[in-house]
Amino acid sequence: MAEFGDYCCAIDRHLHELLDDANLQRHDHNGEHGTDYQPPQAYCVVHIGEAEKVGEGGHSYIVYSIQFGDYEVKRRYSEFESLRVCLCRLYPTFIVPPIPEKHSLTQYAVLQKRAKEDQYIIERRKRMLEHFLNHLVEHPILSSEHILHRFLESGVSWTEVLHSPIITGLPKSPLHSSPSRAPGSSVADGTSIQLPKIAATNSFAGDVPVPSTLAPIRNIEARWMDCELFTNKYANHFSGVIERSERRIYHRLGELSSDYAELGATLNGFSLLEHPEPLAAAIERAGQAVDSSYIEINQLLRLMDAEVSEPIHEYAQYALIIKQVLRFRLLKNLQMESVQDALMRQRAKLEGLMQADDEAKRLAQALESSGAARATPAPYGDSGQRNGEEDSLLAPAHDGDDGAAAQHQHGFADQHGFATPQRTSMDTASMHAPATYAAAAGGTRSRGPSVSSAMSTGMHGEFTPTLVPQAIPEDAAIAPSSLGAGTPHQQRRLRSRSGTAASAG
């Protein structure tokens, strides 16, 4: 790369040298003779010479000899077509020059196997393919594309070029790529100015769906609307008015040429039938004039086809190419809007997640602060106080105020003397301590099992309170009137208690 300076290869340098010479000749010619029109072929850099038929593997095809300077290479029509397809995929925002179309169905129906060998079609293809290559060479960016240089290099297999990584790595659709800028080569005017090279060689938009052209556009720029309107008007004018009128004139001249050919043959034959020599000579000269008109009209048709019909058709093709480029821009605009909408949705989702995260952090801080406050234990005054509480739980109950105090401490008794013990803050040893019974003293009976025996544990260690019967004092009297009160079940229970108290007394 370094040995060629600003050029990527020897062919690139040679092409730009030829362009410099052609521009110099054009400038000198305009300086001497003014700005008279000169056909593009006068300053063409690339020429297509003879077209020859080549046979390979039982099949035959036509190859075109490409000549520029000291270089010469032969390519077939399908290789020209694949070159243009590659350039369109690489540069979807560029107006790549057109090439002649394939044979139409009408041509195949009329000529059949001779369609590929028809001299008129071959000559027309030679001219249009030559225009195609010269437009590429004169392009400031496409002329620096190395794929074009490989196409013009002799001895290079075009099949290998098509299977190179730069071609196989392209996305299937140009809409899945994002044309990026990269350093390009020098421009065609010989200066060392570096132009940006825009090529769709990445897959940045591979996940973006291809939008429909019927989708509405929110942001419509006025200049692009003007471009679309002008392009549609331009295409309709060329394909609908100019090209149709030119075709009509061409067909009429062709019909006139046929009439002149028939008239010339008729006059020449009639001159042979006339016996007077002066009349026969006059008829013969008239026939020769008609034949000369026939020849001139045919020559006019050939020039008209090359200088008028083909440029008009090429301009109509350019209009279609511009439409395709504008359509690509429209779809890219729709893709950008869809990406913007998706980005806005993701941003809104991110904001919601961030708010939820902030709320979770504040809740976690509040839980940590409340948990720290609950984890702080209440201090005991001294160890004697705690031991006193444990002894009071295990001590036997007594009558009088002590019994009431114990009842208040260990549970709540209803009006019939049944108490429900309440769980207190005692350790495991006190909960599972064996039941103790205190001896009766001072004529006072024992109240029954202590609170610790009334507390039992289940199979899985859960606390199960039980009802503890309370002792009845000896001097307690049961009013007869109270026996008749309450439900029958309560009356039977009171009778049994009163009988038990009487027997104990």
pLDDT for 312: 92
pLDDT for 318: 93
Contact 73, 150 (CB under 8 A): no
pLDDT for 452: 43
Contact 435, 453 (CB under 8 A): yes
pLDDT for 404: 45
pLDDT, tens digit (0-9, with 9 covering 90-100), for 160-219: 999 998 888 888 888 888 776 544 433 333 444 444 567 777 777 777 787 777 777 777
**What are the angstrom distances between the C-alpha of 12 and each of 81, 139, 213, 307, 313?**
21, 12, 39, 30, 30
pLDDT for 221: 82
CA distance 328 to 122: 33
pLDDT for 348: 96
- Helix axis angle for 310-375 and 222-237, nearest 10°, is 150
> pTM for the full model?
0.64
pLDDT for 86: 92
Burial class (CB in 10 A: 0-12, 13-18, 19+), 491: middle
Cα 231 versus chain centre, distance: 29
- Give 181's contacts (C-beta < 8 A, 6+ positions apart): 196, 197, 198
pLDDT, tens digit (0-9, with 9 covering 90-100), for 313-359: 999 999 999 999 999 988 888 888 888 889 999 999 999 999 999 99
Q: Which of 267, 258, 273 is nearest to 285 (CA)?
A: 267
CA distance 38 to 307: 12
Under-70 pLDDT residues of the chain: 1-5, 29-43, 103-117, 180-197, 376-505
pLDDT, tens digit (0-9, with 9 covering 90-100), for 270-320: 888 877 888 888 998 999 999 999 999 999 999 998 899 999 999 999 999
